[in-house]
Amino acid sequence: MRAISIRNIPDDVYAGLQTMAKTNRRSLQEQVKLILEREVKLTERSFLADAADWRKRLQERDFSDTVKEVRKDRQR
């Protein structure tokens, strides 16, 4: 694994990272690493590609009309 050194981090950003790490019971290094990993994953794949995948997954499913089901249930 590679190592990164970051200089001149604003005090408020550093304090925020410390708070996040403490809240999540992680070390500061683990918290920063997690944030970087998530950011890289977000940029690797677009929202539109994810939405297209979900549409393909759900395309062949038969969804019932929930309005009809609720009305039918209320008439009991």
In a domain, 1, yes or no: no
SS3 29: helix
In a domain, 6, yes or no: no
In the DSSP assignment, the letter for residue 59 is T
In a domain, 69, yes or no: yes
Number of separate domains in the chain: 1
Q: pLDDT tens for residues 14-55?
A: 999 999 999 999 999 999 999 999 998 888 777 888 889 888
Give the angle 17-18-24 at the CA atoms, nearest 5°. 90
- Going by C-alpha positions, the residue among 47, 45, 13, 44 that lies closest to residue 31 is 13
The two structure tokens encoding residue 40: 């890289």
Q: Which domain holds residue 31?
A: 11-74
Category of 63 on φ-ψ map: left (φ > 0), alpha (ψ -120 to 50) or beta: beta
Q: What is the pLDDT of residue 49?
A: 85
